[in-house]
Amino acid sequence: MNLEIIKGKLLIPEEALDAFLQGRGWSWQQLARGDLELSFDDIHLGLICSSPEWWSRAFLVEPDTGDPYIYFPYQVPSLLDEGDVIHSDGAEVGKTREIGNLLLWKSFTKKGASSLVGAPEQVHLDEIIEYCIEQIEDSKVLKPGLKRHKKHPHHVITFQNRAKIYFCPAGFAGVSFRGKHVRDYAFLDEAAKLHNPKIWEEFWRSGKPGCVFRLYSVPDGVRTTNFYRLKEAAKGNVNLQGSDREPDELDGILKERKFTYYNWKKTDQPSPFWTPERQRFYEKLYGGRDSGGYRRNVLGEDGDPENPVFPWHHLEACLKDIPEYKALKLLFDEGSGTVSIFSASYRLNAKGGDKTGKEELLEDRTVSRSGFNLREVIRDAFSPIPGLKYFGGDFGFSNDPTEILVRLIIGKTWRTVARLHMKGATYDLQAEAIDIMDDIFEPKGIGQDFGNAGSALVHMLQAEDAYPEKHYDEKVTGYQFAEAYDDIDENGEVIEDKKTGKPKRKPAKELATGIMQQKMQRREWEMPPDPDLIRSYSSHTYTIGSRNIIYSKVDDHTIDADRACTLKMVIPDETGADMFEGGASFR
C-alpha cells in the first residue's frame, strides 16, 4: 500500500500510539532513534488498519466535497462494534456509508476476506456498490488494489489480495444467497422489507463460523417479521425465544447469537442536516410527529404500517396489566407423536417507549401424544373468572392454527382474559377444547368464523349425542364474514342511512372491525401485552376495494376470533336464519 498519503501526519489519537508502545515496554525515544524492530510508519499504518474509524479517515473521502472522511458522534459506536448488530434507523442517516466503509476496510486490510451484502432488490444494492467503486476509483492508494468488478448475474468485487464482496438481491426466496459462504461480514440492508422467512434461512446459511451479521433498515411498522423479532430480542423487551411454540430457524439464531441494537434518528444529526426548518419540513411531509411516516423515517421507530386497521397509538393505549390473563399454546406433531405445551402470562413493560409484554413462563414441555390429556392440560392452565363473558373462535385444520379468545364484559369495557392457541389439532380435539373452555368460563355466547373448519365444528357441537346438556344450539353462532348485515352499533341498534332512511348494509367482517375500532379509540377495550396479539393487531392492514374494504389475510387468526366474538355480542340471534335442523345458528 502506498504510504505517501499518511507520511508526516499522525492520523490516530496520540494516546493509542502511547498505549501500543507501553504495552510492549517500548518508549517514544526508542522509536525516534530507530532502535525498535518496527518503524514509526509501520506502527502508524498498523494501528490505522486496526480500526475502521481510523482507516476511513485516512483513506476515504467525503463524496460531496473530497475532504477526508468524518463521522458523526452517534455513528462511531456501531462502526467499532465487532459483534452482530441490528439497526432500526431513520432514513438517510448514514447506513449506506457505514456498510460501504466496513466492506472496504475489511477487504483492504485482510487478505482473502469475504463479505456478502443482501437486500430485497438490486436497486437497494446499487447505492452501496456505487459508493464503494467511487471511493476506490477516486483514490490513488486504493485503486491499484481493485482486481475486478463483475456485474452479471450479480455484482462481485474482487481485490488483488483475494478479498471478495458479493452483492445479492434476495428476490422472493433468497435463492441468490445460495452458494455464497463468507467468513467476515454478512450485511442485510432494508431488512424490514424481507417478510419471507425463506430469505432469512438462506441468508443465515451464507455465514461461515466466525462471520459477523449486520442488519440495517428503516422499519416498516410490520410486527410479524423476522426483522421485528430480532430487533425486539436485541432490545430485551420480550422473551421471543420462548414465546413461539412453532420452532423455526430464527429461534436457533436467537439462542445462538446476541445482537446489539442501534437506533440512529435524523434528530441526532448536526446542523445543517437537522434544524428546526428541517423538522417542520418532515412534519409537513409525513403529516405530523405522531404519524407513522414520521416515526419510521425520522425516528427509526416502528410506528404504523401503511393503511393500518388498528393504529399503534390506539392499540398501545389499550394494553393493560391483566393479572388473570393466561395464554395456552398446544402444538400437535403427528410425525413425532408428541404434543408441545406452552403457557404464559404477560406483564406490561414500557421499556424503550413502546409498550410490550414481559413474559412470565408458566409451563413449557413436550409430552407423548398417547399420554396427553387435553382436559387436564386446559384445566391446569385456566381458572374460572366471574362475570359476563363471551368466546370468539377462528378454527383451522392441519397447519392452519386455531384461536379461541375469552372476553370479559365490565360495563362498557371489554377485557381479554384468556387465549387458547392450537395447531395440528383434529376437529374432535378442537370441539373438545371448546367444551372444556365452556365448562371453565361459562360464556353467555360463542361466536365462530363459519369457514370450513368452523362449520364442521358447529355440526359436531350440535350432534344430539355429543354434548346433549350444553345447549350449543342456543350458545354457538357461526358467521360468514362476507355476508352482508344491517349496520349496527355496539348496542345492537341499527344505523340508518340519513339520505334513504333505510339501514346501511355491511359485510360482517367490516361491521365487526368497525365496532372493534370504536372500542379501541374510546379506550373501552383492555388487552393483554401478549406479543402474538400485539404483532397481529399492529400489523393488520387494509386496502379499499371497488365495493368494500379488503383486509389483509396475513396472521389474522386472533383478529378473526375477536371479530366473531364481537358479532355474537351485537347481532341479535333472532335476526338470523337457522342453517341446521338441529338448531345451530349461522349468521
pLDDT 10s digit of each residue in the chain, 587 long? 555 556 656 678 888 888 999 888 998 888 888 888 888 888 888 999 999 999 999 999 998 898 999 999 999 999 999 999 999 999 999 999 999 999 999 999 999 999 999 999 898 999 999 999 999 999 999 999 999 999 988 899 999 999 999 999 997 778 889 999 999 999 999 999 998 888 999 999 999 999 999 999 999 888 878 999 999 899 886 544 444 445 677 777 888 899 999 999 999 999 999 999 999 999 999 888 888 889 999 999 988 777 889 988 899 899 999 999 999 999 998 888 999 999 999 988 765 556 677 889 999 999 999 989 999 999 999 999 999 999 999 998 767 889 999 999 999 999 999 999 999 999 999 999 999 999 999 999 999 988 778 788 877 887 757 777 788 888 899 898 888 888 877 777 777 777 777 777 889 999 999 999 999 999 999 999 998 898 889 888 888 877 788 898 878 899 999 999 999 999 876 433 333 333 334 44
Q: Where are the alpha helices (DSSP H) in 236-355?
A: 240-243, 249-256, 276-286, 292-297, 312-318
Burial of 400 (0-12, 13-18, 19+ CB in 10 A): middle
57 in Cβ contact with 13 (< 8 Å) = no
251 in Cβ contact with 222 (< 8 Å) = no
Give dist(CA 381, CA 379) in Å, integer.
5
Angle at 222 between CA 216 and CA 224, to 5 degrees: 100
Q: Which helix (H) or strand (E) holds 103?
A: helix 95-109
pTM of the model: 0.67
Distances (CA, A) of 524 to 120, 544, 571, 585: 40, 27, 19, 29
**Preceding omega of 272 cis (within 30 degrees of 0):** yes
Q: How many residues does the chain have?
A: 587
Give dist(CA 59, CA 191) in Å, integer.
29
Domains and CATH numbers, the chain: 1-50 (no CATH), 65-264 (3.40.50.300), 267-303 (no CATH), 310-317+378-587 (3.30.420.240)
Distances (CA, A) of 187 to 51, 118, 119: 19, 6, 8
Q: Which residue has the cell 451479521?
A: 213
Q: Which residues contact 221 (CB under 8 A, 6 or more apart)?
A: 292, 296, 302, 303, 304, 305, 306, 308, 312, 538, 539
